[in-house]
Amino acid sequence: MRFVNWSGSLAFTPGERAEPATEDEVCDLVLRSREAGTTVRPVGSGHSSSPLVRTDGILLSLDRLAGVIRGDGKLATVWAGTRLKELGEGLYDAGLAMDNLGDVDYQSIAGATATGTHGTGIGFGNLSTQVAGVRLVTGTGEVLDVSAERNPELLPAVRLSLGALGVVTQLTLDVQPRYELRRRAWCAPVEWTLDHLAELQHTNRNMDFYWYPRSDLTQVRTLNRADDRSAHRPWPTPRVPGSGPWEDPRETRVGPTHRTIPRRRDLRFEEIEYMLPAEALPACFAEVRRRIRDWHRRDVGWRVLLRTIAADDIWLSNAYGRSTATIACLQNTSLPYEAYFRDMEAVFRQYGGRPHWGKKHWLTARELRPLYPRWDDFQELRRRLDPDGVFLSPDLARLFEEA
């Protein structure tokens, strides 16, 4: 019965665990909860470390509602419980691919899009921007279809909804004909990476970098379409003090998107990630770097990841209305994280940052509301679709309702 998330920092025992095999069963579970006055929290693969899924009511998994339902040249409809790895393989078999992906492929598609999971690339929105339609069971047990044809005005809300508007049973995704990507990674002094950052971001399809606090070195990672010859200008790998130019041969490979973008993660970690206005990145990163080196280096064993996300118009997206740069601090789960993350959160907030919904943060409705121009519209819709608060666990109430 006990639920433990991927990193191990969120553990609880729900009142009941349910794995419905049909959408009708989902409706029945929601109606039963509504009558009993308990909460339902949908759960994906449990990769979030914020307490979005914690409940003493029903923890509802869609693991049995998984797989690609249909796909044509531009759109694919999938069951919400489909894990990203299976999604990638299913789309590939149908000659299709997602436009972009995050760093791993363990999440469910509903869980990933519910929190605005993102990859990198200045031309790419988060995964929620690839959602063209949603089918969900609302708090009254009704099935609601949202797409360009049906209830289109709700699309900017349901594409990223933290499981607060209903249980998503199916998603329709914008997809591409499948293609191959080439991945490269090399090591560089941090000054080199910062000096070349704009050029690296603009001349590669996807670019991000890790900064290693102990060595003050970076690992630059790029992805380009394998068939795009113009994108393969070989970046001169800079000299790394003490070792010369260093490119990681394990990272250099070509393959389909779903096998090239995500990576394996064997070591467990905690993470805080904030989304910043792109123009705030240099100053914010300088402050993060200074504080880690001056105050936290003794306790910080892990790296910091910097990525980009294109602006979007999704009400609760942390890239809403602005080109976004992200900074993520990772910490091995065997090391203390809270003092370090809280200090970083204070820096991120100074620069107008919005927290990743699925990672550690300490914001509540009072601090979140001013960050999202469409906040009140989302809350109004939430109260309309879930009038009795079936999905409003105490943790979600802290996020959405000002005390």
Ligand X SMILES: Cc1cc2nc3c(=O)[nH]c(=O)nc-3n(C[C@H](O)[C@H](O)[C@H](O)COP(=O)(O)OP(=O)(O)OC[C@H]3O[C@@H](n4cnc5c(N)ncnc54)[C@H](O)[C@@H]3O)c2cc1C
The binding site for ligand X (CB under 6 A) comprises 6, 41-48, 52-53, 62, 80, 102-104, 107-108, 110-112, 114-115, 117-118, 162-163, 167-168, 265, 356, 358
Considering the complex, what minimum distance in angstroms separates the CB of residue 107 from ligand X? Answer: 3
User: Residue 33 or 238: which CB sits closer to ligand X?
Assistant: 33
Considering the complex, what minimum distance in angstroms separates the CB of residue 229 from ligand X? Answer: 28
* CB of 40 closer than 8 Å to CB of 29: yes
Dihedral angle computed from the Cα positions of residues 21, 27, 31 and 36, in that order, rounded to the nearest 10 degrees: 30
Question: Could you tell me the end-to-end alpha-carbon distance of the chain, in angstroms, rounded to an integer?
Answer: 32
User: Residue 6 or 340: which CB sits closer to ligand X?
Assistant: 6
Reading the block at residue 199, the tokens are 């050029």
Rounded distance, CA 199 to CA 176, Å? 26
Give residue 381's identity as a one-letter amino acid code: L
Considering the complex, what minimum distance in angstroms separates the CB of residue 322 from ligand X? Answer: 16
- 243 to each of 46, 73, 226, 248, 260, how far by Cα in Å? 40, 48, 29, 13, 28
User: Residue 261 or 300: which CB sits closer to ligand X?
Assistant: 261
Considering the complex, what minimum distance in angstroms separates the CB of residue 305 from ligand X? Answer: 8
Considering the complex, what minimum distance in angstroms separates the CB of residue 62 from ligand X? Answer: 5
Considering the complex, what minimum distance in angstroms separates the CB of residue 30 from ligand X? Answer: 11
User: Residue 168 or 288: which CB sits closer to ligand X?
Assistant: 168
User: Residue 18 or 292: which CB sits closer to ligand X?
Assistant: 18
CA angle 332, 338, 344 (to 5 degrees): 95
Where helices occur in 37-181 by DSSP H, the ranges are: 84-93, 109-114, 155-158
User: Residue 48 or 324: which CB sits closer to ligand X?
Assistant: 48
